[in-house]
Chain A
Amino acid sequence: MSHAATAHDDHHDHDHHMPTGFKRWFMSTNHKDIGTLYLIFSLTMLFIGGAMALVIRAELFQPGLQFVDPHFFNQMTTMHALIMVFGAVMPGFVGFANWMIPLMVGAPDMALPRMNNWSFWILPFAFSILLLSFFVPGGAPAAGWTLYAPLTIQGGMSVDMGIVAIHMMGISSIMGAINVIVTVLNMRAPGMTLMKMPMFVWTWLITAFLLIAVMPVFAGAVTMLLTDRHFGTAFFNPAGGGDPVLYQHIFWFFGHPEVYIMILPAFGIISHIIPTFARKPLFGYSSMVFATAAIAFLSFIVWAHHMFTVGMPLQGELFFMYATMLISVPTGVKVFNWVTTMWRGSMTFETPMLYAIGVVFLFTLGGLSGLMLAITPADFQYHDTYFVVAHFHYVLFSGAVMAMMGGAFYWLPKWTGHMYNETLGKIHFWLTAIFFNITFFPQHFLGLAGMPRRYADYPLQFTEFNQWSSIGAFGLGISQLLFVYIIVATVRGGKKATKEVWDNPEGLEWTVPSPAPFHTFDEPPVVK
């Protein structure tokens, strides 16, 4: 923590004075600055993707087409998903990893700081390309974020731009993942064995392996799409003898682990917040680690549950049904562990804790609807309806995004040196949680009653719940302005935060001052 003591840190070439302006942000190799950049990027994308969601909800407020034509509507659903998945959730967690992993393992920085800079600065370019596709003839990609062939083969040049953007963000994620793995494996403080690592570090280590395993597969799938579109190959195009179902297999081989890439770091964050505010150690640390690993492993053998309706032999349906159901065992273990951590604790309910409880509660609801979706015969009815839309927003919004919000409130004092306004934080939680449920809970009913997803217009019997959902969505969107206000206000000022911030929290990040200085752990701490 002392700047003068280690003037020449040989294998890390970062400057030991704090650069400013262009040099600080564009050429940064500092994990905290890059983490901040990632988080700002993620929040920006959350708003862009959210604006698209509001266009969707505005159109669906009433039956009939009032605002946009169906082609533009399809562009909205497609881009909303691509931006939220690849622009908001994934970079958001990378931001948390950048900020917190070195602080948690007692390392001075990420292992590969310059690569860290590249992996961030690829992203703004990738998303500029993706967003610019709105302005090419035919508009943005409109075949759904899953980019199913042969519909994607019909699309305009925006599909090619989308594919280039996916390649770029894929490279960015892989570089980020390599960085996390190398940092975690090589740069832990003396005494911090693997089984003493904080849960967030564990979940990210496993996530990083998933990323390296599946992002290239996705890159391969979209490359095949590209050559099918322009270079006369026929992997997926039946006109040349290809098989459209093959695309779905390859896509979901990536897609299902991708789901866990988006949720495992959220589990990590929750596993930090709950013990702090229950004033009790995390229950079942080692079973948490094994459960995470088990979820990651199972995620590779369940992909076809996304495509039960393509027509597969009975044995295939049974295998994928059983394997998918099995995932609920390790996931259940995690939920039970969190609840038991609270049990007989001495709880207080500051904003991060409210978020953590909200996540456990709502994510579990999404997990149970996931269990229902795993049941193949019932899935024939749920598949491609709003039931699925409700399900994945419960796991992704009230799982991943709300966990990030909770994490932001939890570590904001450490990042900025100021306490956020607790009252506003609580208001933000309640607004988010209530409007989220008004938006997405009715979608379960819509799906069960038979409303298919990705519909620009719907029959009259779906009107009421769509109106609920639209009202909730606008409330949810507007509430997030409060989130931005709280963050800006906390960066600017507020009550000074102590080193520990909370009541005796566990972890190395609480041993450095608040705000965390530009350079930390130049001399590694020793973990007992």
Chain B
Amino acid sequence: MNNIVVKLVIVAVLMFGFGYALVPLYEAFCRVTGFGGKTDIIEEAMALEAPIEDRDVAVTFTSHSHTSLPWEFRPVTGALDLKVGEVQDAYFYVKNYSDRPITGMSTFNVTPPRAGFHFKKTECFCFKKQVLEPGEEREMLVRFMLDTELPDDVHELTLSYTFFDNEKFAGQ
């Protein structure tokens, strides 16, 4: 009888752990399926070798800066038409207009979600802490490409960045 009790307790503890395991599992699941518009990171060399297809995709850039973060943040690169397979650079302008240094961090995703997996970036400022001094301005780079597996009916794609105040987060 104690045997069953011990087993059931172990199952309960494992399921608690499973709750936590869902975090990386979800991450992995999103990267594989593009769920939630999560994207993939690849080596630059690989990206440059990729074949270029004669298929245009319109890419829109949007940005938002959380209202408790006194930063100006906007895309510099306007909407552009991009060939599938082509490596492209896009710049974002960011400025701290307050009178104190602030750490910010940006989230990122693309929509439609099914395009996410086929969106490969080689360089990105997202999910990294950025410290801006008072009045400091900066241009930030995203280098990316769309792989040839991108579904045919995706004609438009949006990249979205949101900067948040990151002061209270200890690690990353």
Whether A and B touch directly in their complex, counting CB atoms under 8 A apart, is answered as yes
Binding site for B on A (CB under 8 A): 111-112, 174, 177-178, 181-182, 185-186, 212-221, 223-224, 231-235, 238-241, 243, 245-246, 249-250, 253, 311-316
Greatest chain A CB density within 10 A among B18, B34, B166, B171 is at: B18
A182/B5 in contact, CB under 8 A: yes
B111 within 8 A of A: yes
- A241 → chain B closest CB, angstroms: 5
B11/A212 in contact, CB under 8 A: yes
A311/B36 in contact, CB under 8 A: yes
Query: What CA separation (Å) do A260 and B114 show in the bound complex?
Result: 32
Known: A312-B113, A313-B34. A234 touches B18 (CB 8 A): no
A316/B18 in contact, CB under 8 A: no
B130 within 8 A of A: no
B8 within 8 A of A: yes
Which segment, of B19-27, B77-85, B92-100, faces chain A? B19-27
| A-chain residues with CB within 8 Å of residue B164 when the two chains form the complex | 238-240
B35/A312 in contact, CB under 8 A: yes
Greatest chain B CB density within 10 A among A112, A213, A240 is at: A240
Residue of A nearest to B128 (CB): A241
Query: What CA separation (Å) do A195 and B169 show in the bound complex?
Result: 55
> Which of B15, B113, B166 is in CB contact (< 8 Å) with A216?
B15
| B-chain residues with CB within 8 Å of residue A181 when the two chains form the complex | 4, 8
- Residue pairs across A and B with Cβ atoms less than 8 A apart, 18 shown, are A111-B1, A178-B8, A182-B1, A182-B5, A185-B4, A186-B4, A212-B12, A216-B16, A219-B16, A220-B17, A220-B18, A253-B22, A311-B36, A311-B111, A311-B113, A313-B33, A313-B112, A315-B114
B107 within 8 A of A: yes
| B-chain residues with CB within 8 Å of residue A249 when the two chains form the complex | 22, 26
Known: A181-B8, A249-B26. A239 touches B19 (CB 8 A): no
A217/B35 in contact, CB under 8 A: no
B127/A241 in contact, CB under 8 A: yes
- A168 → chain B closest CB, angstroms: 15
> Which of B18, B114, B165 is in CB contact (< 8 Å) with A217?
B18
| B-chain residues with CB within 8 Å of residue A174 when the two chains form the complex | 12
B170/A213 in contact, CB under 8 A: no
A241/B107 in contact, CB under 8 A: yes
Query: What CA separation (Å) do A316 and B20 show in the bound complex?
Result: 22
B166/A240 in contact, CB under 8 A: yes
B66 within 8 A of A: yes
A239/B35 in contact, CB under 8 A: no
| B-chain residues with CB within 8 Å of residue A182 when the two chains form the complex | 1, 4-5, 8
B interface secondary structure, majority: helix
Query: What CA separation (Å) do A79 and B105 show in the bound complex?
Result: 35
B9 within 8 A of A: yes
> Which of B15, B37, B172 is in CB contact (< 8 Å) with A212?
B15
| B-chain residues with CB within 8 Å of residue A220 when the two chains form the complex | 16-20, 22
Residue of A nearest to B17 (CB): A220
| B-chain residues with CB within 8 Å of residue A111 when the two chains form the complex | 1
Query: What CA separation (Å) do A112 and B5 show in the bound complex?
Result: 9
13 more CB-based (< 8 A) A-B contacts, given A216-B14, A240-B168, A313-B112: A178-B8, A181-B8, A182-B8, A185-B4, A186-B4, A212-B15, A214-B15, A216-B15, A218-B19, A235-B23, A246-B23, A313-B113, A316-B35
| A-chain residues with CB within 8 Å of residue B107 when the two chains form the complex | 238, 241
B162 within 8 A of A: yes
Residue of A nearest to B108 (CB): A241
Residue of B nearest to A231 (CB): B170
| A-chain residues with CB within 8 Å of residue B23 when the two chains form the complex | 224, 235, 246
Q: How large is the interface on B (under 10, 10 to 19, 20 to 34, 35 or more residues)?
A: 35 or more
| B-chain residues with CB within 8 Å of residue A214 when the two chains form the complex | 15
| B-chain residues with CB within 8 Å of residue A221 when the two chains form the complex | 19
Residue of B nearest to A182 (CB): B4
| B-chain residues with CB within 8 Å of residue A311 when the two chains form the complex | 36-37, 111, 113
Residue of B nearest to A311 (CB): B113
B169/A240 in contact, CB under 8 A: yes
B4/A213 in contact, CB under 8 A: no
A178/B19 in contact, CB under 8 A: no
- B127 → chain A closest CB, angstroms: 5
B46 within 8 A of A: no
Residue of B nearest to A249 (CB): B26
| A-chain residues with CB within 8 Å of residue B14 when the two chains form the complex | 216
Residue of B nearest to A236 (CB): B23
- A98 → chain B closest CB, angstroms: 17
Contact with A along B30-66 (1 / 0, CB 8 A): 0001111100000000000000000000000000001
B171/A239 in contact, CB under 8 A: no
Known: A178-B8, A186-B4. A239 touches B165 (CB 8 A): yes
Residue of B nearest to A241 (CB): B127
A234/B22 in contact, CB under 8 A: no
Residue of B nearest to A11 (CB): B1
| B-chain residues with CB within 8 Å of residue A240 when the two chains form the complex | 105, 164, 166, 168-169, 172
A178/B166 in contact, CB under 8 A: no
> Which of A112, A212, A246, A313 is in CB contact (< 8 Å) with B114?
A313
- B49 → chain A closest CB, angstroms: 28
Residue of A nearest to B105 (CB): A241
Query: What CA separation (Å) do A219 and B112 show in the bound complex?
Result: 33
- A233 → chain B closest CB, angstroms: 8
Nearest first, the 4 closest Cβ-Cβ pairs linking A and B are A220-B19, A232-B170, A239-B164, A216-B16
Query: What CA separation (Å) do A508 and B95 show in the bound complex?
Result: 77
Residue of A nearest to B30 (CB): A243
Query: What CA separation (Å) do A412 and B7 show in the bound complex?
Result: 36
- B73 → chain A closest CB, angstroms: 14
A246/B26 in contact, CB under 8 A: yes
B4/A217 in contact, CB under 8 A: no
Residue of A nearest to B111 (CB): A311
B33/A316 in contact, CB under 8 A: yes
| B-chain residues with CB within 8 Å of residue A232 when the two chains form the complex | 168-171
| B-chain residues with CB within 8 Å of residue A235 when the two chains form the complex | 23
A314/B114 in contact, CB under 8 A: yes
Greatest chain A CB density within 10 A among B19, B20, B164, B166 is at: B19
- B52 → chain A closest CB, angstroms: 26
Known: A111-B1, A313-B35. A234 touches B169 (CB 8 A): yes
Known: A220-B19, A313-B113. A213 touches B11 (CB 8 A): yes
